[in-house]
Amino acid sequence: MPDPTFEALVERHSAEIYAYLWRLLGDPELASDCLQDTFLRALRAFPRLRHHEHLRAWLYTIAMHRARTLLRQRARHESRQRELTDELADPHASVGQRVAERETRRRVRAAVGRLPPRQREALILRRYQGLSYAEIAAIAGGTAAAARTNVHLAQERLRIWLRPEVGDAV
Amino acid sequence: MSRTKIVKAKDPMQAVDALYAAGPSGTTVAAAQSRLRAALRAQAPQVYYDVLPRSTLGAVYLAAGPDGLLAVGLATNEPGFVRRVARRTGAMPVRSTERLRHARQQVDEYLRGKRSAMQIDVDLSQVTPFQRAVLEAARRIPRGTVITYGEMAARLRRPRAGRAVGQALAHNPVPILVPCHRVVSSGGELRGYLGDRIGLKARLLKLEGVPMLGNRCRIAGRSGAGR
């Protein structure tokens, strides 16, 4: 079987890696920059790669590390998240509804942003990218059990932080 | 009697799912992919390759960049050759019969004995200055003659560098085109060609009309085969 070429790799995995970065960074433009950064790094490392069985996990790992670096560099990250939340806004909602929805999204986004990186990454990989705990362990390092714990802790924290305030539930 | 409205509190994770589950829209993904492809295209120089499948030396792989032929693969396979070229150039080579047609045809004719010289640009920009000097010197050895590693070192005014010359030739990226097979050890013995493919070296020398006796050849200006 011929080696999978890098172009095939781009076609096969770029949409999935982009979705991951979009969720992790909360900013379509920043996610797009990070996607380029990820694949350019992968391109340089690809010829030296000896094992081609775990390319998807390998790309996820590069993307995860690039995203961490970008998040550290972007102190203004919080203010840029508006773009993603606007993309999701329902155009048919009333002004009042839209304000309330935007506020909810802001709270959710801020809560997810408060999670320790490993928990945030594990939660997104498991719950939204659909990866198994073993796959998460291969990407992030550590064990499948640790990945499961990270997802569990992330959900537990989010449930506490996003608990409806008194009067909100009614 | 006052009525109490009992509302079951929603799982807060539903709000998280609402934001994250759907993922980016198709248009957003397509725009990001298109930017990615453009960035990758701008990054990598284009390298093409093709194969001459059944020559007297077996399959011969050829790879060329914008400045000429930069790799010839003998005794290898397609994945191995692609990987080697990619490692050296940093670009993933793309198979193209069209781009290699000219070079492939000349190499084919040469190996079938129908052509005595090839007019193909060779790109040696990826090698060290010393190796380039050695390979350039090898290109000046006429067809049908051989010289020794020591003689080549002397020609380069580095008389003690016979071993380094051997190493430089052993890593010749474009065998056949740069005729490293025309350099032999002092006794006329064929030592080392792509590792231990002495047979390929002997076949090339025979093709060029060099008198052979087993794995020895006659060195120009000396009598008898070998010593």
Q: How far is CA B33 from CA A7, A9, A32, B135, in A?
A: 12, 12, 8, 43
For residue B183, what are the contacts with CB-CB under 8 A and spacing of at least 6? B138, B141, B146, B147, B148, B149, B152, B165, B166, B169
Per-residue model confidence as pLDDT tens digits over A25-45: 989 999 999 999 999 999 888
Tokens read off for B176: 């056949």
Half-sphere exposure for B72 (CA within 13 Å, toward CB)? 26
Position A169 scores a pLDDT of 43
| Beta carbons of A158 and A107 less than 8 angstroms apart | no
Residue B45 has pLDDT above 70, yes or no: no
Comparing C-alpha atoms, which of B52, B44, B49, B41 is closest to residue B74?
B52
Kind and range of the H or E run holding A66: helix A55-73
A contacts of B35 (beta carbons < 8 Å):
32, 35-36
- Annotated catalytic residue B180: yes
Residue B227 has pLDDT above 60, yes or no: no
| Beta carbons of A113 and A159 less than 8 angstroms apart | no
Q: Which residues of B touch A (CB under 8 A)?
A: 5, 7, 9-13, 15-25, 28-29, 31-33, 35-37, 39-40, 43-44, 78-79, 82-83, 86-87, 90, 92, 94
Position B163 scores a pLDDT of 86
| Beta carbons of A46 and A6 less than 8 angstroms apart | yes
Per-residue model confidence as pLDDT tens digits over B87-116: 888 778 888 888 899 999 999 999 998 988
The three-state secondary structure class of B223 is coil
For residue B27, what are the contacts with CB-CB under 8 A and spacing of at least 6? none
Comparing C-alpha atoms, which of A135, A147, A148, A140 is closest to residue A54?
A135
Average pLDDT over residues B138-151: 91
A113: left (phi over 0), alpha (psi -120 to 50) or beta: alpha
**Phi/psi at B22 (nearest 5 deg)?**
-65, -35
Residue B5 has pLDDT above 80, yes or no: no
| A163: closest chain B residue by CA | B12
Q: Among the listed ranges A91-95, B147-151, B206-210, which one has the minimum average pLDDT value?
A: A91-95
Q: Cβ of A18 and B13 within 8 Å?
A: no
Angle made by CA atoms B44, B70, B147, in degrees to the nearest 5? 160
| A129: closest chain B residue by CA | B21
**Phi/psi at A94 (nearest 5 deg)?**
-75, 170
pTM check: above 0.90 = no
Position A29 scores a pLDDT of 93
Q: How far is CA B201 from CA A18, A163, B44, B156, B217, in A?
A: 51, 77, 34, 23, 11
Interface contacts (A, B; CB < 8 Å): 116
Q: Would strands B48-55 and B58-65 be described as parallel, antiparallel, or unpaired?
A: antiparallel
A91 has a chain B CB within 8 A of its CB: no
Q: Which residue among B69, B122, B180, B202 is the active-site one?
A: B180
A157 has a chain B CB within 8 A of its CB: no
| Beta carbons of A35 and A63 less than 8 angstroms apart | yes
A65 Cα to chain B: minimum distance (Å): 18
Residue B224 has pLDDT above 50, yes or no: no
| A128: closest chain B residue by CA | B21
Tokens read off for B75: 């005794």
Distance CA A135, CA A74 (A): 28
Average pLDDT over residues A90-94: 69
B186 Cα to chain A: minimum distance (Å): 37
The residue ranges of every structural domain in chain B are: 48-111, 129-217
Distance CA A68, CA A25 (A): 9
Tokens read off for B190: 């064929």
3-state helix, strand, coil in chain B (%, to 5): 40, 15, 45
B227 Cα to chain A: minimum distance (Å): 44
- Fold designation for B129-217: Arc Repressor Mutant, subunit A (1.10.10)
| Beta carbons of B167 and B136 less than 8 angstroms apart | no
Per-residue model confidence as pLDDT tens digits over A59-78: 999 999 999 988 887 755 45
Q: How far is CA A167 from CA A99, B7, B144, in A?
A: 18, 11, 96
Q: Among the listed ranges A42-51, A98-107, A143-152, B88-97, which one has the minimum average pLDDT value?
A: A42-51
Residue A4 has pLDDT above 60, yes or no: no
Average pLDDT over residues A94-100: 80
The three-state secondary structure class of B184 is strand
A51 has a chain B CB within 8 A of its CB: no
Facing residue for A112 by CB, picked from B16, B18, B83: B16
| Beta carbons of B160 and B150 less than 8 angstroms apart | no
